[in-house]
Amino acid sequence: MTTTDERPPVTVISGVLGAGKTTLLNRLLENNRGSRLAVVVNDMGEVNVDADLIERENPETGLIELSNGCICCRLQGDLVEGIVDLAENREIDALVIEASGISEPTPIARRLSQPPEEGLDPTEAVRLDTMVTVLDAYGFWKEFDAGASLPSEAPDPERPLAEVLVQSVEFCDVLLINKCDMVPDDVLDEITGVVSELNPRATIQETEYADIDPSLVIDTGRFDYEAASRSVGWKTALRESRTGKTSHDHATDEEEAGHDHAADDDEAGYNHTAHPVDSFVYRRARPFDPEMFADRLVEQPAGVVRAKGVCHVAGTDDVIGLNRAGAAVQAGPIGEWGDDEPRTELVFIGAGMDREEIESTLDDCLVEPGTTADEWGPTPFPIESVGEA
Ligand SMILES: Nc1nc2c(ncn2[C@@H]2O[C@H](COP(=O)(O)OP(=O)(O)OP(=O)(O)O)[C@@H](O)[C@H]2O)c(=O)[nH]1
């Protein structure tokens, strides 16, 4: 990408532990074709970046190592200082930041792309260019399991892994589905379908050992905070459903897929059956019975990867926002209806979902017409559940 902006572009690599972030970083360093890359990593010892490679290829550029703690917790401090220092005092063409497997991409993006009210302004020195998320195709479905949580050193270890994973898929410009050598083609198609529903705007590439051309993730000009927030899959599905467009179906189609991934021993032992990927919107005007709805919510409907939206619940003037990632679900007040007509609008994204069953289960929780408000006890919201482990 050619630009008159002289600030070096920044690429941020996110992804859960072991997805292949360091593998990607080393690839970029190996294949950078003479461009001067500076690198920020959390902890050299742990991430095993080839420091010699950085020295050999980029003696004039630099590397910042942040030990003790994860990048997203240190945004106010040495990360920003280090980045500004690198950009101003070294001859660099681009900067690559490897976030730790427990970092959340959205606060990193916000801090690097928006001038702060006070303190050092990174946007004067660098330009946030590309948010990349590396996915582990082999571990993908396990990460959505109930009980999968973050390591104890994470900023919020109670936070379910599925939530961090979904956020890193929804908020990125480029998605690398890595470790493709370890899963069968149909499962790979299913993962690709799900992530493109979660983030229709992202460029999606299937990779083995993160083997990509660096131009896919460096100096792409793709980052756009507003567009990234606006075009998240569930918002897109909601907009499409309002304008009458039908939801699209990514059922596995061998002819369409056209992949040729060599099978190996790991792949042979893989235990997951692929299902058609789909999304739909559940929309009702009638309110939910609070207790019944809250009871239902903690159960994860089969095949649902993501559910998000607003709910009309009897006995409260509050809008109840619902946020599900895998088995983890939260629902609670996010404001009042005010002049808006109360309604339920929920987007479901998943693979192998039984739409009829999900809809009829929810319909069973709707209050009967003619029921009066004094029939409900105190609202059970907010509720939070990570599902059964
Ligand atoms: N089979 C297979 N293994 C891979 C692939 N990519 C990376 N690996 C291996 O997976 C392991 C983890 O890769 P890393 O690059 O260290 O992952 P990471 O995301 O940096 O891990 P953390 O720093 O712990 O968060 C290493 O042993 C890699 O060699 C791939 O495409 N296929």
Q: What spatial distance separates the first Cα and last Cα of the chain, rounded to whole Å? A: 46
For the cut 50, the answer to whether the pLDDT of residue 48 exceeds it is no
* CB 122 near ligand 1, within 6 Å: no
For the cut 90, the answer to whether the pLDDT of residue 2 exceeds it is no
Give me ligand 1 centre to Cα 19, in Å.
5
Give the model's pLDDT for residue 51.
54
Domain with CATH 3.40.50.300 in the chain: 9-239
In whole angstroms, how far apart are CA 124 and each of 81, 220, 234?
12, 19, 33
* CB 139 near ligand 1, within 6 Å: no
**CA 17 to ligand 1: nearest atom:** 25
**CA 178 to ligand 1: nearest atom:** 31
| 371 vs 173, residue with greater confidence | 173
Nearest CA to ligand 1 atom 15: 20
Looking at CATH, the fold of the domain delimited by 277-385 is given as: Hypothetical Protein Yjia; Chain: A;domain 2 (3.30.1220)
* CB 44 near ligand 1, within 6 Å: no
* CB 17 near ligand 1, within 6 Å: yes
**CA 182 to ligand 1: nearest atom:** 1
| 124 vs 73, residue with greater confidence | 124
Give the model's pLDDT for residue 157.
59
* CB 181 near ligand 1, within 6 Å: yes
Domain with CATH 3.30.1220.10 in the chain: 277-385
Model pLDDT for residues 239-274, shown as the tens digit of each residue: 888 877 654 544 444 334 444 444 444 555 667 777
* CB 101 near ligand 1, within 6 Å: yes
**pLDDT interval class at 161 (50, 70, 90):** confident
Return phi, psi of residue 338, to 5°. 55, -125
Give me ligand 1 centre to Cα 261, in Å.
18
For the cut 90, the answer to whether the pLDDT of residue 178 exceeds it is yes
Nearest CA to ligand 1 atom 21: 18
In whole angstroms, what is the distance from residue 125 CA to residue 277 CA?
Answer: 42
What is the b/e burial string over 163-190, where b = at least 16 CB atoms within 10 angstroms of the residue's CB? bbbbbbbbbbbbbbbbbbbbbbbbbbbb
Dig out the tokens for 166 from the structure. 């979904």
In whole angstroms, what is the distance from residue 19 CA to residue 134 CA?
Answer: 6
| Burial environment of residue 161 by CB neighbours within 10 A (0 to 12, 13 to 18, 19 or more) | buried
* CB 20 near ligand 1, within 6 Å: yes
Give me ligand 1 centre to Cα 245, in Å.
40
For the cut 60, the answer to whether the pLDDT of residue 45 exceeds it is no
For CA atoms 255, 206, 218, 215, the dihedral sign is negative
Looking at CATH, the fold of the domain delimited by 9-239 is given as: Rossmann fold (3.40.50)
* CB 182 near ligand 1, within 6 Å: yes
Q: Give pTM, 2 decimals.
A: 0.83
Report the complex ipTM.
0.98
Give me ligand 1 centre to Cα 18, in Å.
5
The answer to whether the CB of 383 falls within 8 A of the CB of 323 is no
* CB 19 near ligand 1, within 6 Å: yes
**CA 25 to ligand 1: nearest atom:** 15
For a ligand 1 pocket test, name from 17, 21, 23, 205 the mutation site with the most ligand atoms within 8 angstroms of its C-beta. 23
Least confident of 15-29, 152-166, 173-187, 342-356: 152-166
Model pLDDT for residues 334-388, shown as the tens digit of each residue: 999 999 999 999 999 999 999 999 999 999 999 988 777 667 777 888 988 876 5
Give me ligand 1 centre to Cα 134, in Å.
10
What average pLDDT does range 312-328 have in this prediction? 92
* CB 208 near ligand 1, within 6 Å: yes
For the cut 80, the answer to whether the pLDDT of residue 58 exceeds it is no
Query: Over pLDDT 90: what percentage of the chain?
Result: 44
For the cut 60, the answer to whether the pLDDT of residue 13 exceeds it is yes
Nearest CA to ligand 1 atom 14: 20
* CB 47 near ligand 1, within 6 Å: yes
For a ligand 1 pocket test, name from 13, 16, 22 the mutation site with the most ligand atoms within 8 angstroms of its C-beta. 22
Least confident of 26-40, 173-187, 315-329: 26-40
**CA 211 to ligand 1: nearest atom:** 31
